[in-house]
């Protein structure tokens, strides 16, 4: 609206400082409009001008509105006497109920005693005591709410609610608009994703020492051998992986693959498919198994990754049979803090100098680990203290996969790798940040400084970082 009749002061951000937009009004984005674009419909413009012109013509007759707090207070009192949930408006008691509300507003809770006295009835001891208490409480509340501190707190709360609404609008996009089913901006930006917190195993469980050998150390590696042992028996299987075995893994374990068959030190191994091997292992396990491994973070990740990749039935069987995992690496670090390192071979050489275990063979590794644990007489409390649940491992796997996907999309952002990792870990990808930019001039600022569960900024409050990201999208639009 450029008509001088409507407004004599400059309210347009472009008119206030055209240099911010390179003196081109097309570069300005509107906070309250979809994608920040201009309104270009001439009929809508004419209709809006007519509406505002009528108000401008009688602006000298308008005065600033006072507070409606008194009216709202009285309405609440009436609602307590004649709730809208009941149809009192046509009842014989309605006039009396409203009159009681008026009396309470004007006289306080003591109006009941005055009515009783006027009617020559006894006001009642407890009735009078309750009325006096409520009047005193109301007087104290009125005084406390009229202080500067209370008013400042109300202003702060209002600002927080307003900010929360702005953030919700940026994250949720269009929610209540005409033709929402055809609206294009309905994608919701996810709220802050929290990194899974380690949960310990509790309750009765059966100790099962286990170990796996793999094709490598990456997240896409497969298992080549899985072994386990309890006090009642042992399990060992070689399995044919779906991916090639890395030279590094072959050098450590001696296991290689050729023509779809497994070999160890040149000898062919009796191996089964991955699905059969993992399923047989899980079926062999006792109920409520606590799988004990040295550096269990690796073995648990391998077992969970492979089980979930095989299918939902195997993954469900894993959750049903395995309560969690326990890491003996952490246990032995506490038991032998003086050792140069706490690899299983180092511990075995100290506690069992004359051992003949073939380390990096899963079955021998399991037998060695179980022997070490029995020699140290490790109590169940120690296993549980260094444990983590199967559900935690699965949650961590899903979190890491999502974070990795988000991280790839953020490579072009002009921020440090640390900040990219933080943004990806909170659940945001590049398209989410672009949505926030398109929805509001302050969209990225509101999204990034939104408090998380710990009342810390979701990403950062650094103006330098935020300005750099906004400038990046500004440049993208210019291109």
The helix (H) or strand (E) run that includes residue 387 is strand 387-389
Instruction: Using the predicted structure, report yes or no on whether residue 15 has a pLDDT greater than 60.
Output: yes
Characterize the bridge pairing of strands 223-229 and 234-240: antiparallel
Helix (H) or strand (E) holding 326: strand 322-327
Q: Which of 35-39, 177-181, 330-334, 396-400 has the lowest mean pLDDT?
A: 177-181
Mean pLDDT of 438-452: 85
Helix axes 148-172, 430-439, angle to 10 degrees: 120
Are 390 and 325 a contacting pair, CB within 8 Å? yes
Structure-block tokens of residue 478? 């210019």
Among the ranges given (177-186, 309-318, 421-430, 458-467), the one the predictor scored with the smallest mean pLDDT: 177-186
- Are 384 and 438 a contacting pair, CB within 8 Å? no
Q: Which helix (H) or strand (E) holds 238?
A: strand 234-240
Region 187-206 average pLDDT: 90
Contact, 121 vs 94, CB < 8 A? Answer: no
CB 105 within 8 A of CB 98: no
By 3-state DSSP, what share of the chain in percent is helix, strand and coil, each rounded to 5? 55, 10, 35
Which residue stretches of 266-416 are H helix?
Answer: 274-284, 296-310, 312-321, 328-335, 344-351, 362-376, 380-385, 390-409
pLDDT at 2: 42
Report how far residue 224's alpha carbon sits from residue 269's, in angstroms, rounded to the nearest whole number. Answer: 11
Distance (Å, rounded) from C-alpha 225 to C-alpha 230? Answer: 17
Residues 364-384, mean pLDDT to the nearest whole number: 93
At residue 5 the predicted structure's pLDDT band, cuts being 50, 70 and 90, is very low
Q: How confident is the model at residue 177 (pLDDT cuts 50, 70, 90)?
A: low
What average pLDDT does this structure show over 436-445?
A: 86
Question: What does the pLDDT average to over 218-241?
Answer: 92
Contact at 8 Å (CB) between 174 and 440? no
Q: Please compute the mean of the pLDDT values over residues 188-196 and round it to a whole number.
A: 89
Q: Is residue 166's pLDDT more than 80? A: no
Which residue reads 């993208």 in tokens?
476
Query: pLDDT band at 171, cuts 50/70/90?
Result: confident
Secondary structure (3-state) at 324: strand
Which residues, including other chains, have CB under 8 Å from residue 202's CB and lie 6 or more apart?
384
Indicate the burial class of 102 (C-beta count within 10 angstroms; 0-12, 13-18, 19 or more).
Answer: middle
Which one, of 121, 125, 101, 120, lies nearest residue 111 by Cα? 101
pLDDT tens-place string over residues 71-130: 888 899 999 888 888 888 888 888 999 999 999 888 888 888 888 888 888 877 888 888
Q: Is the pLDDT at 285 greater than 80, yes or no?
A: yes
- Full-model pTM: 0.67
pLDDT computed for residue 137 by the predictor: 87
Mean pLDDT of 8-30: 74
Q: Which residues are registered as beta bridge partners of 235?
A: 228
pLDDT above 80 for 178: no
Are 227 and 235 contacting, i.e. CB atoms less than 8 angstroms apart? Answer: yes
Does residue 358 surpass a pLDDT of 90?
A: no
**Cα dihedral sign for 200, 202, 206, 207?**
positive
- Please report how many Cα atoms fall inside a 13 Å half-sphere around the Cα of residue 264, on the Cβ side: 15
Q: Using alpha carbons, select from 75, 105, 102, 131 the residue that is nearest to residue 83.
A: 75
**What average pLDDT does the chain have?**
86
């Amino acid at each position: 609206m450029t008509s001088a009749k409507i407004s004599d002061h400059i309210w347009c951000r472009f008119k206030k400082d055209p240099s911010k937009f390179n003196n081109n009004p097309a570069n300005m984005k509107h906070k309250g409009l979809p994608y920040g674009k201009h309104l270009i419909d001439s009929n809508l413009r004419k209709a809006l001008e007519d509406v505002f012109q009528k108000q401008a013509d009688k602006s000298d007759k308008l005065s600033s509105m006072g507070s409606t707090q008194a009216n709202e207070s009285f309405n609440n009192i009436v609602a307590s006497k004649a709730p809208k949930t009941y149809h009192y408006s046509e009842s014989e008691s309605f006039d009396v109920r409203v009159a009681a509300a008026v009396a309470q507003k004007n006289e306080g809770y003591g109006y009941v005693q005055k009515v009783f006295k006027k009617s020559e009835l006894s006001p009642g001891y407890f009735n009078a005591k309750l009325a006096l208490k409520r009047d005193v409480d109301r007087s104290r509340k009125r005084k406390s709410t009229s202080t500067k501190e209370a008013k400042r707190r109300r202003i702060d709360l209002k600002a927080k609610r307003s900010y929360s609404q702005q953030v919700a609008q940026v994250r949720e996009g269009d929610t209540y608009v005409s033709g929402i089913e055809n609206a294009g901006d309905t994608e919701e930006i996810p709220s802050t994703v929290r990194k899974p917190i380690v949960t310990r195993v509790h309750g009765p469980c059966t100790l099962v020492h286990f170990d796996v050998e793999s094709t490598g150390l990456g997240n896409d590696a497969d298992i080549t051998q899985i072994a386990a042992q309890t006090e009642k028996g042992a399990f060992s299987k070689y399995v044919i992986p779906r991916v090639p075995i890395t030279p590094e893994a072959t050098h450590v374990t001696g296991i290689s693959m050729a023509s779809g068959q497994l070999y160890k030190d040149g000898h062919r191994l009796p191996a089964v498919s991955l699905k059969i091997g993992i399923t047989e292992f899980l079926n062999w396990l006792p109920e409520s198994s606590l799988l004990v491994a040295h550096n269990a973070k690796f073995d648990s990740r391998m077992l969970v990754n492979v089980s979930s990749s095989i299918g939902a039935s195997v993954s469900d069987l894993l959750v049903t049979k395995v309560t969690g995992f326990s890491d003996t690496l952490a246990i032995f670090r506490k038991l032998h803090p003086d050792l140069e390192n706490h690899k299983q071979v180092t511990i075995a050489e100290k506690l069992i100098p004359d051992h003949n275990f073939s380390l990096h063979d899963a079955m021998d590794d399991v037998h060695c680990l179980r022997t070490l644990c029995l020699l140290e007489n490790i109590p169940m409390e120690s296993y549980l203290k260094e444990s983590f649940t199967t559900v935690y491992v699965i949650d961590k796997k899903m979190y890491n996969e999502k974070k990795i996907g988000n991280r790839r999309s953020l490579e072009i952002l002009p921020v440090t790798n640390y900040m990219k990792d933080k943004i990806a870990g909170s659940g945001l990808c590049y398209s989410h940040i672009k949505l926030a930019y398109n929805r509001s001039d302050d969209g990225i600022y509101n999204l990034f400084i939104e408090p998380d569960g710990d009342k810390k900024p979701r990403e950062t409050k650094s103006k330098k970082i935020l300005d750099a990201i906004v400038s990046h999208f500004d440049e993208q639009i210019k291109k």
